[in-house]
Amino acid sequence: MALTESIKSSVATNTQDKPFLQINNLIKEFGDNRVVKNVSVNINKGEIFALLGSSGCGKSTLLRMLAGFETPTSGEILLDGKNIINDAPYHRPINMMFQSYALFPHLTVWDNIAFGLRREGMAKDEIADRVEKMLALVQLDSFGKRKPHQLSGGQQQRVALARSLAKRPQLLLLDEPLAALDKKLRERTQLELVNIIEQVGVTCVMVTHDQEEAMAMASRIAVMSDGVILQIGKPNDVYETPNCRFVADFIGSVNMFNGAVEVDEPDHVVIRTPECTHYVGHGITGTPGMAVSVAIRPEKISVSADKPAQEHNYVYGEVIELAYLGSYTVYHLKLLSGMIIKANVSNTSRHGAFHPKWGDKLFAHWEDDAMVVLTR
Amino acid sequence: MKKFSKPAWLSGKTAVIGIPYLWLAVCSLVPFLLVLKISFGEMDASGPFGTLTSYVDGVLSLKIKLTNYIYLAMDDLYIIAYLNSIRYAALTTLMCLLIGYPFAYFMARASQSRRNVLMMLVMLPFWTSFLLRIYAWKGMLSNNGVINNFLMSVGAIDAPIHMMNTEFSLMIGMVYSYLPFMILPLFTNLSKLDVRFIEAAADLGSTPWSTFWRVTVPLSKSGIIAGSMLVFIPCVGEFVIPDLLGGPSTIMIGHVMWDEFFSNVDWPMASTVTVVVILGVLIPMGILNKYQSEEEQKL
Amino acid sequence: MNAYRWFGRSWLAMGYFFLYIPIIMLVVYSFNSSSQDMVWRGFTLHWYEALTGDDEIIAGFFLSLKVATLAATCSVVLGTFTAYVLTNYRRFKGRALFKGMASAPLVMPEVIIGLSLLLMLVGMENAVGFPPRGLMTLVFGHTVLGVAYSAVVIESRLKEISKSLSEAAMDLGCKPFQVFFLVTLPNISQALVSAWLLTFTLSLDDVVVSAFLTGPGYSTMPIVIFSRARLGLDPRVNTVAAITIAVVSVAVVLSSLHMARTERRRQKEISAAFKH
């Protein structure tokens, strides 16, 4: 895992002179409906880039425009410097792994993988060699003669991956790669998938609505909503430093306090909300009186029965809901103002003494650096 | 911002649509327009293809004779034939529904393997020649046919019952031929019916009889309509069955058209009858089409 | 519950009895030695013998076979075009008219189809001296009917095929033409066979359109049978019926068994895959 992390981060920071894939001002309209609204993204060679968003946000349309199945209304797509916007899908050095796998039912696994190579006019023995290599890559060495309906879901997915990598494309597109798998299989496949892609070294753009999947697999994420990209960054950055309420809310859970800036200093700000006073340990670009939101992740909040020593950054409430999830417990506290906050508390000891129950009154508190101040 | 026109690689589309379109235009549109034109003319020495338009003294005039249509409206024969056709078609549809619905229902209730056998047994007559099966009924219902001979040989009757060339023989032939057309869509529809609907109804306290009328029948509505249309519409224009099994009292419009064409050699008249029948068919067809596209929207 | 089941069984039994009794009668009486009526006078193979010398029917049979083969093949080709257009092109000018024209032969009475096509063909003959009525016009008329039926069969199969299959093919380097032949066609092959068989049978059995469009000397088998049937009862018709029924029954039973076996094998393979 650590090795993958280091590879991912090195790739992410290794921005070259010219990004490998440049999407410039891409717009897509279906009649009166503008689905992709002036999107511009730069993707680097060799990175795994995720387009994250809920259904209808335009991410699939964007992916299909990269593949060539939709024609943009305007804009350009530069792959390695060349504008491919007018190229048909069969002329682009791009291959896609479909959500439904789209394996050809009338062909064997071997023929499925060889399909694209045959269209290229590759020599027979070269094709055989490449197909064998692909089967080995996805660990389906002896499955060549089978037909798709004779494979399990996970095996079908691996064939689909092998098929999309067989032609050594410059860009690999993944459309909701893990959506069709059940949870256990999904976790295992996430890692396998990343390993294979990095082993091959291909630039990859994936589309997903599952933020855990995006965070686990991608080196950079773009959060999309309603046809617009809201934020691009490494998973860590997007999670800990969301740039707007939507992103903060979309990724993981978040507690959102709404209030106004009271004190604005270069090294700290004090924000007053109906629930409490927030002392934020860094400066923000803003003015006193400005309306802002303070976002705090549930895992940054600690709970206690006794009042904490600090002056700011704590609230008092009643446990109205608690969910024991094994590795941690989620407490829903109803505050005096009526707001309900969530706190995730790790179960660090097997039989700890502190076990709040429904109806208990607790204090919830957090550190100076746990908050993100959002202005939009 | 540059706007893009349709990419070049999609232009083969015109050819792909064009070929069948051309075919269909030649098969359906051109003949219909021609028939329409002829119906406005009359039969003369050179044939029915007299020109409708004439260019005289620099003036283009259109000569449309509605004589045929007026004649059609006034002559009893045609009106009776139309009404007969609709009446028999409606009766046939009803009978097919009454016989076919329970049939399809019980077929759908059978176990999966039996269902296939039952289906095959229904399809087998369908694949056998339609003409031969009508001829078979002639053999059954004639005065010297199987049924009469059997009844006479066991002494049930003294003289043969006159069954041929009557409404009765016509109806038997029609129902017999069109029954599979009713059973098929009903069976498809009923076999796809989720048993859980019926279970839910029972769970909520409905008796089997009541469940049937309040749950099963409404849910099979599209099958009923499809089957009825598949039977009614072709029935109206049936020719072979009335010709072989029907009689002078059961004149149907198909027969009239045939006679006008072959016996009277009055092509414009035949065309006129054709046009009216086509319009009469277009309306149920329009309803069917609209219903089908509504169903497709729902999916 | 018992009464309910009995009711169902007897209804089905009566229904099948009604469906099959004329067919059985046809076969039985083909062995009857009476020529005038349907009284059983004794078993004989006389009529089958007579059939071998019946030039009219034999010629009609071979003509029907020829017409049916040609018409079925043309129908499937044109029907595939039609079905493809209807499935893949959801929006183009005149689509409603296209759809209407494609399904018109399904609901039009055959007399109308025959009449209008004949008028058009006569008009053509008057204008350009082509085509003469006979084999070509018969094939033409049967194809008109056949295209409508095969389009329905093929369209329903095309709809089942996921759009992503053709997209995947294009993604892997297939031009649209190649997609059709390499991916679409193999996956609709069974529907193509069904459509061919359906239109073949329809053509073989057609009376009305053939009567309108045929020319002198081109009597198809149904036309021969029809003219004889109009005159009265003819045991030779029974023999033709018996042979037809035998052939069709064998074909239907064999294909049903074959389909059932293929389906069982396929299900076994799918469930085996899940064990891994």
pLDDT at residue B112, as a whole number: 79
Residue A76 binned pLDDT confidence (cut-offs 50, 70, 90): very high
DSSP string, A73-97: SEEEEEETTEE-TT--GGGSSEEEE
Residue B52 binned pLDDT confidence (cut-offs 50, 70, 90): low
Q: Are residues C200 and C147 in the same domain?
A: yes
Of A94, A102, A151, which has the smallest distance from its Cβ to C168's Cβ? Answer: A102
Q: Are residues C213 and C133 in the same domain?
A: yes
Asked whether B163 and B141 are in contact (CB, 8 A), the reply is yes
State how many domains chain B has.
2
**Across the strands, what pairs with C193?**
none
Most confident of A311-320, B54-63, B200-209, B213-222: A311-320
Three-state SS at C183: helix
**Across the strands, what pairs with A314?**
A365
Report yes or no: B7 at the A interface, CB cutoff 8 Å: yes
Residue A11 binned pLDDT confidence (cut-offs 50, 70, 90): very low
C-alpha of C117 from chain center: 20
Identify the domain containing residue B160 by its residue range.
Answer: 71-298
CATH number for the domain that contains residue C181: 1.10.3720.10
Tokens 């009186």 -> residue: A289
**Is residue B285 assigned to a domain?**
yes
Q: Are residues C225 and C251 in the same domain?
A: no
Q: Are residues B165 and B149 in the same domain?
A: yes
Report phi then psi at A18, rounded to 5: -120, 130
Asked whether B135 and C27 are in contact (CB, 8 A), the reply is no
Indicate the residue among B30, B46, B65 that finishes a domain: B65
Report yes or no: A69 at the C interface, CB cutoff 8 Å: yes
Establish, for the pair of chains A and C, how many residue pairs have beta carbons separated by less than 8 Å. Answer: 71
Report phi then psi at A191, rounded to 5: -70, -45
Say whether pLDDT at A6 is over 80.
no
Asked whether A295 and A255 are in contact (CB, 8 A), the reply is yes
Residues from chain C that touch B31, judged by Cβ atoms under 8 A, are: 116-117, 119-120
**Across the strands, what pairs with A293?**
A258, A374
C-alpha of A233 from chain center: 10
B2 residue type, one letter: K
Most confident of A142-146, A346-350, B6-10: A142-146
Q: Are residues B28 and B90 in the same domain?
A: no
Residues from chain C that touch B109, judged by Cβ atoms under 8 A, are: 8
Q: Are residues C263 and C248 in the same domain?
A: yes
A237 vs B233, higher pLDDT: A237
**Is residue C139 assigned to a domain?**
yes
**Tokens at B130, concatenated:** 């339609």
pLDDT digits (tens, 9 = 90+) for A263-289: 888 888 888 888 888 888 888 887 888
Q: Are residues B18 and B110 in the same domain?
A: no
pLDDT digits (tens, 9 = 90+) for A160-173: 999 999 999 999 99
Domains and CATH numbers, chain A: 2-93+169-246 (3.40.50.300), 253-374 (2.40.50.140)
pLDDT at residue B53, as a whole number: 53
Q: Are residues B76 and B23 in the same domain?
A: no
Report how far residue C54's alpha carbon sits from residue A108's, in angstroms, rounded to the nearest whole number. Answer: 53
What are the Cα distances from residue B69, in Å, to A344, B50, C111, C118, C230?
A: 86, 17, 19, 21, 31
State how many domains chain C has.
2
Of the candidates B182, B189, B141, the residue with the CA atom closest to the CA atom of residue B162: B141
pLDDT digits (tens, 9 = 90+) for B169-209: 999 999 999 999 899 889 988 888 887 888 888 888 888 88
Residue A7 binned pLDDT confidence (cut-offs 50, 70, 90): very low
Q: What is the pTM of this model?
A: 0.84
Starting at the edge strand found earlier in the chain, the sheet holding A340-346 runs A302-304, A361-365, A314-324, A328-335, A340-346
Interacting residues of A213 by C-beta distance below 8 A, sequence separation 6+:
A50, A177, A178, A186, A190
Q: Which residue of B has its CA nearest to A88?
A: B9
| b/e per residue C230-251 (b: at least 16 CB within 10 A) | eeebbbbbbbbbbebbeebeee
Q: Are residues B177 and B31 in the same domain?
A: no
Report how far residue C253's alpha carbon sits from residue A99's, in angstroms, rounded to the nearest whole number. Answer: 40
Task: Report chain C's mean pLDDT, rounded to a whole number.
Answer: 88
- What is the CA angle C238-C243-C245, rounded to 5? 90
Q: Are residues C123 and C248 in the same domain?
A: no
Say whether pLDDT at A176 is over 50.
yes
Contact: B103, C12; criterion CB under 8 Å: yes
Q: Are residues B25 and B86 in the same domain?
A: no
Three-state SS at A364: strand
Region label for A75, one of left (φ > 0), alpha (ψ between -120 and 50) or beta (otherwise): left
Report how far residue B101's alpha carbon sits from residue B268's, in angstroms, rounded to the nearest whole number. Answer: 42
Most confident of A140-144, A272-276, B221-225: A140-144
**Using omega within 30 degrees of 0 as the cis cutoff, is the peptide bond preceding C131 cis?**
yes
Contact: B102, C8; criterion CB under 8 Å: yes
**Is residue B1 assigned to a domain?**
no
Residue A12 binned pLDDT confidence (cut-offs 50, 70, 90): very low
Diameter of chain C by CA atoms? 73
Asked whether C118 and B47 are in contact (CB, 8 A), the reply is no
Residue C81 binned pLDDT confidence (cut-offs 50, 70, 90): very high
Of B3, B8, B9, which has the smallest distance from its Cβ to A73's Cβ? Answer: B3
Does this complex have an ipTM over 0.90? no
Please compute the mean of the pLDDT values over residues A136-149 and round it to a whole number: 92
Interacting residues of B140 by C-beta distance below 8 A, sequence separation 6+:
B146, B147, C21, C22, C25, C38
Tokens 């079925």 -> residue: C72
**Across the strands, what pairs with A30?**
A33
**Is residue C206 assigned to a domain?**
yes
Interface of A with C in 152-211 (CB under 8 A): 152, 155, 163-164, 167
Q: Are residues B255 and B109 in the same domain?
A: yes
**Tokens at A19, concatenated:** 């990004």
pLDDT at residue B58, as a whole number: 55
**Is residue C1 assigned to a domain?**
no
pLDDT at residue A77, as a whole number: 94
Residue B62 binned pLDDT confidence (cut-offs 50, 70, 90): low
**Is residue B152 assigned to a domain?**
yes
Asked whether B146 and B140 are in contact (CB, 8 A), the reply is yes
pLDDT digits (tens, 9 = 90+) for B131-156: 999 999 988 888 878 888 888 888 87
pLDDT at residue B59, as a whole number: 57
pLDDT at residue A69, as a whole number: 93
**Tokens at C148, concatenated:** 């409508």
Please compute the mean of the pLDDT values over residues C28-48 and round it to a whole number: 77
Report yes or no: C125 at the B interface, CB cutoff 8 Å: no
**Is residue B281 assigned to a domain?**
yes
- What is the CA angle A318-A320-A321, rounded to 5? 135
Asked whether B228 and B93 are in contact (CB, 8 A), the reply is yes
DSSP string, A234-251: -HHHHHHS-SSHHHHHHS
Residue B4 binned pLDDT confidence (cut-offs 50, 70, 90): very low
pLDDT at residue C50, as a whole number: 83
Report yes or no: A71 at the B interface, CB cutoff 8 Å: yes
**Is residue C226 assigned to a domain?**
yes
Of the candidates A52, A42, A4, the residue with the CA atom closest to the CA atom of residue A242: A52
Strand duo A48-52 + A220-225: pairing: parallel
Report how far residue C137's alpha carbon sits from residue C140's, in angstroms, rounded to the nearest whole number. Answer: 5
Q: Are residues C143 and C263 in the same domain?
A: no
Share of chain A above pLDDT 70, in %: 95
pLDDT at residue A95, as a whole number: 96
Report yes or no: C186 at the A interface, CB cutoff 8 Å: yes
Say whether pLDDT at C166 is over 80.
yes
Say whether pLDDT at A3 is over 50.
no
Contact: B144, C105; criterion CB under 8 Å: no
Please compute the mean of the pLDDT values over residues A226-234 and round it to a whole number: 94
Identify the domain containing residue C257 by its residue range.
Answer: 238-269+272-276
**Is residue C94 assigned to a domain?**
yes
Please compute the mean of the pLDDT values over residues C57-71 and round it to a whole number: 94
Report how far residue C191's alpha carbon sits from residue C257's, in angstroms, rounded to the nearest whole number. Answer: 18
pLDDT digits (tens, 9 = 90+) for C116-143: 898 888 888 888 877 788 889 999 999 9
Strand duo A48-52 + A74-79: pairing: unpaired
Q: Are residues B53 and B144 in the same domain?
A: no
B184 vs C275, higher pLDDT: B184
**Is residue B262 assigned to a domain?**
yes
DSSP letter assigned to residue B26: I
Three-state SS at B208: helix
Three-state SS at C129: coil
pLDDT at residue A15, as a whole number: 47
Residues from chain C that touch A149, judged by Cβ atoms under 8 A, are: 266, 269-270, 273
Contact: C205, B285; criterion CB under 8 Å: no
Report how far residue C191's alpha carbon sits from residue C173's, in angstroms, rounded to the nearest whole number. Answer: 26
Starting at the edge strand found earlier in the chain, the sheet holding A228-233 runs A94-97, A171-175, A203-208, A48-52, A220-225, A228-233
Of C171, C272, C274, which has the smallest distance from its Cβ to A67's Cβ? Answer: C171
**Is residue B24 assigned to a domain?**
yes
Q: Are residues B202 and B224 in the same domain?
A: yes
pLDDT digits (tens, 9 = 90+) for C188-232: 998 999 999 999 999 999 999 999 999 888 899 999 999 988 888
**Across the strands, what pairs with B267?**
none
